[in-house]
Amino acid sequence: MSNQALPRPRFNAPEPERGSKADLKIEARATPLLQGKVSEIPDAFFGWAMRLCGLAVVALLGLIVYQLVVGSELSWHAFGWKFFGQSDWNPVSDQYGALPFMYGTIVSSLLSLVIAVPLSIGVAVFITEMCPTGLRGTLSFTTELLAAIPSVVYGLWAIFVLVPILRAYVQPFLARTLGWTGLFSGPPYGIGMLAAGVILAIMIIPIISSITRCNFSPHMPVSMTTVFTLVLFMISITRSGGICSSMPRASFV
């Protein structure tokens, strides 16, 4: 009986309050929720403001179309859709057609894009990749400064400077070399689609080059390396004469 186990002592420690942990959880959750609501208000306001700006552009475009339709109501009743398909412009007999104007707008715009897009891409690649660092800012500023010149100034410069050059040098040369195509036949007046395309190309080169340069700048090392690799690969397989046998590898690259 001497080895009988002694009774375990009991300590009367104060028990923790049951509601304290729940209160701590509620307080811990309350602070992030309040912070999230405060931070979401400016983001929501900015998002709705940007949506309103986008809708304002669409509404402005719709208002322009509405005003054009209302302002041309008499013409619509008098000529109808044939106004866009006729080429006559005779105020004496009240015959009018917009086909020459539409044709001139489309052809001059396409010609300006054909001239301006390669030049703009070349300017953007040169400024971002090949131009010395000290000249990049000056060349970029000079290129973008062309966009600030009013179109009236471009038109006057085309009449007094560009048209005489085209009439005296460019159009006779094109007529001698490419006259067989029929695109450059006829007397060299200077004023025509070529002059319109050139002057429009000069006007849009700054915008296209600026957008292209912005797209090239963040991803320039990867993009240019990929382009140069593909170009060198195509040149190598073209010189070796193995185009057909290398097509699967080229499509994989």
Instruction: Give the model confidence (pLDDT) of 80-96 as tens digits.
Output: 888 888 888 888 887 88
Q: Based on the domain organization, do 121 and 237 belong to the same domain?
A: yes
**198: number of Cβ within 10 Å:** 21
User: Quick check: is 3 in a domain?
Assistant: no
The rounded percent of the chain whose pLDDT value lies above 70 is: 68
Mean pLDDT of the region 141-170: 87
Q: Based on the domain organization, do 111 and 62 belong to the same domain?
A: no
Q: Domain count of the chain?
A: 2
User: Quick check: is 14 in a domain?
Assistant: no
User: Quick check: is 97 in a domain?
Assistant: no
Q: Which residue has the higher pLDDT, 8 or 249?
A: 8
User: Quick check: is 81 in a domain?
Assistant: no
Of 10-14, 68-72, 138-142, 161-165, minimum mean pLDDT range: 10-14
Band (pLDDT 50/70/90 cuts) for residue 114 is very high
Q: Based on the domain organization, do 157 and 45 belong to the same domain?
A: no
Q: Based on the domain organization, do 108 and 232 belong to the same domain?
A: yes
d(CA 53, CA 66): 20
User: Quick check: is 91 in a domain?
Assistant: no
Nearest to 98 by CA among 123, 122, 116, 72: 72
**pTM of this structure:** 0.60
User: Quick check: is 35 in a domain?
Assistant: yes
Q: Based on the domain organization, do 112 and 38 belong to the same domain?
A: no
Instruction: Give me the DSSP letters along the chain.
Output: -TTPPPPPP---PPPPPHHHHHHHHHHHHHHHHHHHHHHHHHHHHHHHHHHHHHHHHHHHHHHHHHHHHHHTHHHHHHHGGGGGT---EETTTTEE--HHHHHHHHHHHHHHHHHHHHHHHHHHHIIIIIS-HHHHHHHHHHHHHGGGS-HHHHHHHIIIIIHHHIIIIIHHHHHHHHGGGSSS-S---S-SHHHHHHHHHHHHHHHHHHHHHHHHTTTHHHHHHHHHHHHHHHHHHHHHT-HHHHHHHHHH-
- Number of Cα atoms under 13 Å in the Cβ half of residue 47: 5
Domain of residue 47, residue span: 26-71
User: Quick check: is 173 in a domain?
Assistant: yes
Band (pLDDT 50/70/90 cuts) for residue 224 is low
Q: Based on the domain organization, do 45 and 148 belong to the same domain?
A: no
At 30 the pLDDT is 47
Q: Based on the domain organization, do 117 and 193 belong to the same domain?
A: yes
Torsion of CA 105, 111, 114, 117, to 10 degrees: -50
Burial 207-246 (b: 16+ CB within 10 A, else e): ebbbebbeebeeeeeebeeeeeeeeeeeeebeeeeeeeeb
Band (pLDDT 50/70/90 cuts) for residue 135 is confident
Q: Based on the domain organization, do 64 and 152 belong to the same domain?
A: no
Q: Based on the domain organization, do 112 and 172 belong to the same domain?
A: yes
At 6 the pLDDT is 54
Q: Based on the domain organization, do 67 and 132 belong to the same domain?
A: no
Q: Based on the domain organization, do 111 and 167 belong to the same domain?
A: yes
Q: Based on the domain organization, do 107 and 187 belong to the same domain?
A: yes
User: Quick check: is 83 in a domain?
Assistant: no
Q: Which residue has the higher pLDDT, 232 or 37?
A: 232
Nearest to 117 by CA among 125, 105, 106, 129: 125
Q: Which two tokens stand for residue 67?
A: 């005003």
Q: Which residue has the higher pLDDT, 247 or 9?
A: 9
